[in-house]
Amino acid sequence: MKTKLLILISVLFATSYNSNAQKVKIKKGIVSVDDKEYLKTNKDYGNEIISTLDGKDIIKLEWNSFDVPNPARNNANDPARYNYPATIKNWYAVASFLDFNITFETELSQKNIFEALYKDKVVDESGKVNEENAKSLAKKIHKNVSGNRPDVLIIY
């Protein structure tokens, strides 16, 4: 009886947790949130350009990476630790709003950036960008990634 009750509570918790999350999909350059078209994305001049559904460019994402030491090689209990690569790539984006003087860095993935734009209502249904919401979002998710890059010295 306790097992059935525990399973029922777990299912109810999982259902309520998933109902609050937005489902972000990117297919053929169209970003959909909860199966409703939201924005467009495409690669242009080596950057990712986010635009409204009517084609107005609003955000430029410049993707960058740097190498960091691989923590898997530090596990002294793993005899195969030297089979792992010495470094791994750490990716981040520099996001710039094209109509406003707002630029920030983030380690969020592409889908998480779109989810944050949607959740914070940066772009409304008519395609208008809310500058105050954009500033608020930039403050929330900004992380000084480029200034915190480690100087990596790999010795083989």
Distance of CA 122 to the CA centre of its chain: 15
- The strand order across the sheet containing 57-69 reads 24-27, 30-33, 36-44, 47-51, 57-69, 87-97, 102-106
Q: How far apart are CA 43 and CA 39, in angstroms?
A: 14
Residue 156 is predicted with a pLDDT of 40
Report the interhelical angle of 110-119 vs 131-141 (nearest 10°): 130
CA dihedral of 130, 134, 32, 109, whole degrees rounded to 10: 170
Residue 115 is predicted with a pLDDT of 93
Q: How far apart are CA 91 and CA 32, in angstroms?
A: 23
* Tens digit of pLDDT at every position of the chain (156 positions): 556 555 555 555 555 444 556 788 888 988 988 888 889 999 878 889 999 999 899 999 999 888 888 888 888 788 887 888 888 888 999 999 999 899 999 999 999 999 999 999 999 888 889 999 999 999 999 988 877 666 544 444
Residue 151 is predicted with a pLDDT of 54
